[in-house]
Amino acid sequence: MKKFSIIFLALLSFVTGIYAHSKFEPTDASLRNYKYPAWFRDAKFGIWSHWGPQAVPRQGDWYARGMYERDTYDCEKQQYRRANRYYTYHREHYGHPSEFGYKDIIPLWKAERWNPDELMKLYKRVGARYFVSMGTHHDNFFLWNSALHRWNSVNMGPKKDVVGLWQTAAKREGLRFGVSEHLGASYTWFQSAHRSDQLGDKANTPYDGANPDYWDLYHKPTTPDDNGWYTKNPEFQQEWLARIKELIDNYHPDLLYSDGGMPFGNDVGMAMIAHYYNQGAKQGVVYTCKQASEGRWVSDYERGSADGIRKEPWQTDTSIGDWYYRTGQKYMTADEIIQMLVDIVSKNGNLLLNVVQTPEGDLEQDVVDILEKIAAWMSINSVAIYDTRPWTIYGEGPSLLAAEAKAPFGHIANAVKDVRQYQSGDMRFTVKVKTLYVFSMEPVTTALHIKALGMNTETGRKIKSVRLLGSDTKIVWTQNGDEVVIQQPADAPPFRTVVYEIKL
């Protein structure tokens, strides 16, 4: 027994030593020891609920800021800047922001038709492997049960723990769960609420954000030079850190998203990331922000895509329409979303797609119709998406060079716009073990020509078989030194983008 105890203690000491050695510190060197979890690399597709009180006016994104932006006079240009359309709409429908401010919009958000369980079932069927809830937007309203901030969805509005209910629904369906935080930028973003009209019948009448009673929502005034995306105020930075740590510690999300680069430098931003990684070591967590990762996190491209295969996993975040509900908005088509997903996965990325909810919490029928079309495509072709990795090259085709011009987009250099036009003959590739998946992005008339698989090319490999996913017809194909030619069957699935499974 004594010998067993000694061995056990030695083993425990060894394991403890490993854990202590692997603990993350808030430094670049330490965060570069981060390992990307397999679940994220395999998942490829997530759905996001970018939702909250700003949906109430049905006018779109950034309402809480724009409603405080009236006509101003630009002395340098010697001209008037027109009022934000949200300001005009707010005055017409709610009144002047000195009398009816954003604080008064919040109680109107009831989410009375929100059914997280039913929506999660739909999202799983559509093909999402992870789900992300809004935690807080730039409006500084929390969708979780916070002990640090009274302006939250349990105390006000729907009086529900939105983050908690989303998380329960996601776990029930076997989806990984994430939360997005946009709080870091809110300290400067919301300063418009402290101002007043320069012109008109309410000139010099302060907006409700100038009232100190509401500074816990609108934040305290900043100094004139504190006007960047992230505040320079150390007090605000420490408040951000405490509140995001509360979110992490209460919900232990699998993924945490920041809307911007890493917030506030090593002492604050890296402290948060190290804390997050340490508490999530067992489950394998992902932190993503709009900054080159260098192995420290997952880089995020807003409404954009990498211009080629990235060594490290990355993510695109985009929306099916506007970020918040807007009456009459135009949505992306199912084909555009599918092609975007394929392009991203071929380059070692994931797609996080915001599905726009009404203020009441349900989906418009045209959104449901789009999702159903994606679900139909995924039911046949998801094997070429999930658990795959990039091939030697990500694609070929006539539009490749024009589309991949290296232009800044989505806050990270060398990104391309996520919605783009493909041409007949454009292809994308993914691979799984000895199986290559070839996505024909647009219909071809008679045959698909794959030059990358010609036996005399650098990437050429001998082919054993070719199958069209969703078709029972035997595929006719030939391989020579220059290319592989696949004849199109008569019973191809009714999709714009079809997938060939090629055994190598």
Rounded Cα–Cα distance for residues 178 and 382 (Å): 22
**Which residue, among 98, 89, 83, has the nearest Cα to 54 in the 3D structure?**
89
At 366, list the tokens.
Answer: 């045209």
Rounded-to-integer distance, Cα 197 and Cα 97, Å: 10
Cβ distance 379 to 371 under 8 Å?
Answer: no
The half-sphere exposure of 231 on its side-chain side, counting CA atoms within 13 A, is 26
> Which residues have CB under 8 Å from 465's CB, separation 6+?
502, 503
Q: Which residues sit opposite 142 in a β-bridge?
A: 136, 152
Tokens coding 377: 């495509």
What is the average pLDDT across 12-26?
56
Helix (H, G, I), strand (E, B) or coil at 122: helix
Average pLDDT over residues 245-258: 98
| 270-300 confidence digits (pLDDT tens) | 999 999 999 999 999 999 999 999 999 999 9
d(CA 105, CA 486): 58
pLDDT band at residue 419 under the 50/70/90 scheme: confident
What is the pLDDT at residue 82?
83
Question: Residue 401: is its pLDDT beyond 60?
Answer: no
Of 324, 91, 308, residue with least CA distance to 205: 91
> What whole-number percentage of the chain has pLDDT above 90?
86
pLDDT at 7 over 60: no
DSSP letters, 284-335, are --EEEESS--TTSSEEEEETEEESS--SS-EEEEEESSSSS-BTTPPPPPHH
Q: What is the pLDDT of residue 80?
A: 64
Query: Using 50, 70 and 90 to split pLDDT, how confident is the model at 410?
Result: very low
Task: Find out whether 429 and 461 touch, Cβ atoms under 8 Å.
Answer: no
Strands 314-319 and 349-354: parallel
Interval 32-90: pLDDT, tens: 999 999 999 999 999 999 999 999 999 999 999 999 999 765 666 766 678 999 999 99
Look at 74-78, 101-105, 120-124, 213-217 and tell me which has the smallest mean pLDDT.
Answer: 74-78
Say if residue 416's pLDDT is above 60: no
**Mean pLDDT rounded to a whole number for the chain:** 92
User: Do residues 429 and 452 lie in contact, with contact meaning Cβ atoms separated by under 8 Å?
Assistant: yes
pLDDT at 409 over 80: no
Q: What does DSSP assign to residue 277?
A: H
Element (H, E) at 180: strand 176-181
What number is the average pLDDT over the span 183-187? 98
Please give the average per-residue pLDDT across 142-151, as a whole number.
98
Distance between CA atoms of residues 278 and 383, nearest Å: 33
Report how far residue 158's alpha carbon sits from residue 390's, in angstroms, rounded to the nearest whole number: 43
Per-residue confidence (pLDDT) for residue 79, from 0 to 100: 65
C-alpha gyration radius of the chain: 25
Round to whole Å and give the CA distance between 307 and 403: 9
- Phi and psi for 318 in degrees, rounded to 5? -150, 175
Query: What angle, rounded to 10 degrees, do the helices at 162-172 and 116-126 form?
Result: 50
Confidence of residue 403 (pLDDT cuts 50, 70, 90): low
Residue 420 is predicted with a pLDDT of: 82
In order, the DSSP letters of 398-432 are TTHHHHT--EEETTEEEEEESS----TT-EEEEEE
Report d(CA 397, CA 378) in Å as an integer: 23
> Looking at the predicted structure, is the pLDDT value of residue 260 above 70?
yes
- Residue 324 is predicted with a pLDDT of 98
